Homo-oligomer: A and B are copies of this chain.
């Protein structure tokens, strides 16, 4: 698959954290549908999909975010499409959400459910997921970063630029989303933002550690 190998590496060289986009260029509906679909179809631990993707196109909401997101200002002003990803809180076997996934989405047979719940509980203990409320939500947040990589890579394959953003006041954004009734007290927390569009200027060269510093073979 020489051709696809080249296309993939080219996409990774093309992708960079775009600070400002060309505000006159809009991503086509077909391309952005693919990007969102890639988020939705991304894998997650136990297949629990502990996420939600908000597409923030409303100018008033973008402005409110802008004031509390120092790392997203150029992107909020210019991005064709702007996503705020949420991570779900309290993803434990007995939660209404996990029960919904087990019963209505995965549709496990009723008699198998106790074993599924025990598997989830044992796994969360062995992997130190539910040590505390913060570690539990950080685990859900990790899953949303799988979708983040996938959405940015798919965008790059389509010639679309992106920028992942953690540069915001987490407390203030959480409060804003609550005050706008976008999240409740106990359902979601902001995980990251990611902007999509077309670059305004060419980026500086990418820097990375050499392969020998990040990859080790045991043969």
Contact = CB atoms under 8 A, between A and B. Distances in A.
Given A31-B1, A123-B166, A153-B149, A41 B55 contact: no
A208 B41 CA distance: 7
A40 B215 contact: yes
Copies in the complex: 2
B8 A169 contact: no
A-side interface mostly: helix
Interface string A184-207: 000000000000000000000011
Interface of A: 1-2, 4-5, 7-9, 12-13, 15, 17, 30-31, 34, 36-43, 45, 47, 49, 51-58, 61, 71, 101, 105-107, 123, 126-128, 131, 134-135, 138-139, 141-143, 145-150, 152-154, 157-159, 164, 166-171, 182, 206-209, 211, 214-219
